[in-house]
């Protein structure tokens, strides 16, 4: 495997009632808190009240209304609030969208230019206001990584950024906070965790045994617990295992020492940039056509590993049959999560395929992915998703 630096510095407070530690955690950074959240789920489920109750001794400035697929206009609003109110620490309460947005807000607080610069050129990110997160949706891993994905609504461009200082200092992960997630978001988050593991798994590095066995265990965790969480949203074990899996799937561990670009995420970011699609749903739709497109003599052994180790498929003499059985098992799993597996089912037609394919290849460096993908390859994959 390649040389690597692994530095997942976030302190995680995991489990029921860990929110009680919030005052002492925030006090490490100061008294002026920017409380960032989304469209109101935390108000409806009582998390907002619990937090504001605990923060009576702090000056709390509300930064509400961060949308899924967070927009640069929200980032700008947050930067304005952070600067005006001389914020010491940002408290991000939500899923990946809220946490991602605050990462660029935290960087923007120390940047005089247009915050979009920080998205287009991550090297411009220097100092960042400390970020403490309270996770309410297991999926992105944003609670334990430096990544932030922001949409420029004017340009219909969605792009990732981040720097060493955008990783949350502390993340509070209380699995009971996930109980109120709608089934659609539970399924999407689970597909997202699964896709992060696949992206790192399907790489050319031949000897990343540790990373791949860890990834297989985390994939099995999602396969086991996602259907349970869907059937019984208040199953603590299911929520806890999915939440921990989400953090470990994208904190750098399973991708360490494995070079090259990801494959499916870049294409999905185009779907959510143009159509505001839920990220994990787009990933699930794209994954199966992508797998079927790249299965060949060079990749079949990796697909056999995947089929046998993750899906416990008994290998047959025919490697391609075993590989395809693994892909079919993946399809059956996504169907079990009630994810619609065609673009038609989420009202996306072919009118933007060409421009999306071009941008995905360019922004995602898809020529460096596991099996290099050209614009024509991406077009073929998109067409196979149409349904
Ligand atoms: O906005 P509210 O009202 O809070 O509702 C949210 C939102 O509508 C709702 N929700 C969250 N927690 C809830 C809840 N509803 C009820 N009960 C709860 N406990 O769920 C909806 C979706 O939330 P969002 O934060 O958008 O979802 P997710 O965590 O999947 O984040 C998606 C964003 O993260 C990016 C995606 O591209 C997308 O923009 N990603 C970030 C990554 C990273 N930072 O490393 C990597 C990922 O691959 C991904 O690209
Ligand atoms: Zn993702």
pLDDT at 361: 98
pLDDT of residue 177: 98
**Per-chain mean pLDDT for the chain:** 98
Tens digit of pLDDT for each residue in 178-220? 999 999 999 999 999 999 999 999 999 999 999 999 999 999 9
**Rounded-to-integer distance, Cα 47 and Cα 175, Å:** 12
- The whole-angstrom separation of Cα 301 and Cα 315 is 11
Q: Spell out the residues 6+ positions from residue 163 whose beta carbon is closer than 8 angstroms to its own.
A: 107, 122, 123, 125, 126, 128, 146
Q: Tell me which of 133, 149, 252, 274 to substitute to probe ligand 1's pocket, judged by most ligand atoms within 8 Å of the beta carbon.
A: 149
**Residue of the nearest CA to atom 28 in ligand 1?**
96
> Which residue out of 42, 63, 100 has the highest number of ligand 1 atoms within 8 Å of its CB and is therefore the one to mutate?
100
Q: Is 140 in the pocket of ligand 1 (CB under 6 A)?
A: yes
Q: What are phi and psi of 151, to 5 degrees?
A: -105, 130
188 C-alpha to center of ligand 2: Å? 10
Reported as a pLDDT band with limits 50, 70 and 90, residue 66 is: very high
pTM of the model: 0.98
Nearest-CA residue for ligand 1 atom 38 is 69
Note the pLDDT of residue 269: 97
More confident residue, 115 or 206: 115
User: Using one digit for the tens of pLDDT, what is the confidence trace for 153-165?
Assistant: 999 999 999 999 9
Ligand 1: does its nearest atom lie under 6 Å from the Cβ of 176?
no
- DSSP 8-state assignment for residue 18: G
What ligand 1 atom has the least distance to the C-alpha of 68?
26
β-strands 131-135, 59-63 pairing: unpaired
Distance, CA 280 to ligand 1 centroid (Å)? 9
Q: Is the CB of 133 under 6 A from ligand 1?
A: no
CA–CA gap between residue 54 and residue 50 (Å, rounded): 6
The residue that leads in pLDDT, 361 or 206, is: 361
- Reported as a single tens digit per residue, the pLDDT across 126-142 is 999 999 999 999 999 99
Residue 387 binned pLDDT confidence (cut-offs 50, 70, 90)? confident
**pLDDT band at residue 103 under the 50/70/90 scheme:** very high
Taking 90 as the threshold, does the pLDDT of residue 105 lie above it?
yes
Element (H, E) at 227: helix 209-231
How buried is 15 (Cβ within 10 angstroms: 0-12 exposed, 13-18 middle, 19+ buried)?
middle
Ligand 1, closest atom to CA 103?
Answer: 44
CA of 97 to the centre of ligand 1 (A): 5
Alpha helices in 66-180 (DSSP H): 72-84, 96-108, 116-120
What percent of the chain lies above the pLDDT cut of 70? Answer: 100
pLDDT, average across residues 269-292 = 97
Residue 65 is predicted with a pLDDT of 98
pLDDT of residue 92: 99
d(CA 285, CA 248): 23
| Joined tokens for residue 148 | 């932030």
Tell me: pLDDT of 264 over 90.
yes
Q: Which residues surround ligand 2, an ion (CB under 5 A)?
A: 192
Residue 102 clears pLDDT 90, i.e. is over it? yes
Q: Which two tokens stand for residue 233?
A: 């949203």
Pairing of strands 148-152, 59-63: unpaired
Q: State the distance from the centre of ligand 1 to the C-alpha of 94, rounded, in angstroms.
A: 7
Cβ(279) to ligand 1 under 6 A?
yes
User: Is the CB of residue 252 below 6 angstroms from any atom belonging to ligand 1?
Assistant: no
């Amino acid at each position: 495997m390649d040389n690597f630096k692994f530095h997942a510095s976030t302190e995680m407070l995991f489990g029921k009632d860990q929110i009680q530690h919030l005052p002492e955690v925030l006090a490490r950074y100061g008294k002026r808190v920017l409380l960032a959240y989304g469209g109101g789920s935390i108000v409806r489920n009582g998390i907002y009240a619990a937090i504001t109750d605990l923060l009576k001794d702090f000056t709390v400035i509300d930064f509400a209304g961060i949308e899924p697929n967070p927009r640069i206009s929200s980032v700008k609003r947050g930067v304005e609030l952070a600067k005006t109110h001389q914020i010491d620490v940002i408290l991000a309460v939500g899923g990946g969208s809220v946490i991602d947005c605050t990462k660029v807000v935290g960087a923007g607080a120390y940047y005089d230019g247009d915050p979009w610069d920080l998205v287009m050129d991550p090297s411009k990110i220097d100092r960042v206001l400390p970020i403490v997160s309270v996770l309410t949706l297991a999926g992105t891993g944003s609670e334990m990584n430096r990544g932030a994905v922001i949409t420029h609504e004017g340009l219909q461009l969605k792009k990732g950024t981040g720097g060493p200082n955008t990783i949350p200092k502390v993340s509070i992960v209380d699995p009971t906070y996930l109980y109120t997630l709608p089934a659609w978001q539970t399924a999407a988050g689970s597909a997202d965790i699964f896709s992060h593991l696949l992206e790192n798994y399907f790489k050319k590095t031949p000897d990343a045994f540790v990373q791949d066995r860890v990834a297989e265990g985390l994939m099995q965790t999602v396969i086991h617990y996602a259907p349970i969480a869907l059937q019984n949203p208040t199953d603590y074990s299911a929520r806890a295992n999915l939440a921990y899996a989400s953090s470990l799937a994208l904190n750098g561990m399973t991708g360490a020492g494995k070079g090259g670009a990801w494959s499916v995420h870049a294409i999905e970011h185009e779907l959510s940039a143009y159509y505001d699609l839920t990220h994990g749903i787009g990933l699930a739709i794209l994954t199966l056509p992508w797998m079927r497109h790249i299965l060949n003599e060079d990749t079949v052994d990796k697909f056999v590993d995947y089929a046998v180790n993750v899906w416990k498929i008994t290998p047959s003499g025919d490697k391609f049959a075993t590989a395809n059985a693994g892909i079919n098992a993946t399809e059956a799993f996504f169907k079990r999560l009630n994810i619609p597996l065609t673009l038609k089912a989420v009202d996306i037609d072919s009118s933007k395929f060409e421009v999306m394919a071009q941008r995905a290849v360019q922004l995602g460096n898809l020529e460096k992915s596991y099996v290099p993908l050209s614009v024509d390859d991406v077009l073929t994959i998109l067409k196979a998703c149409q349904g």
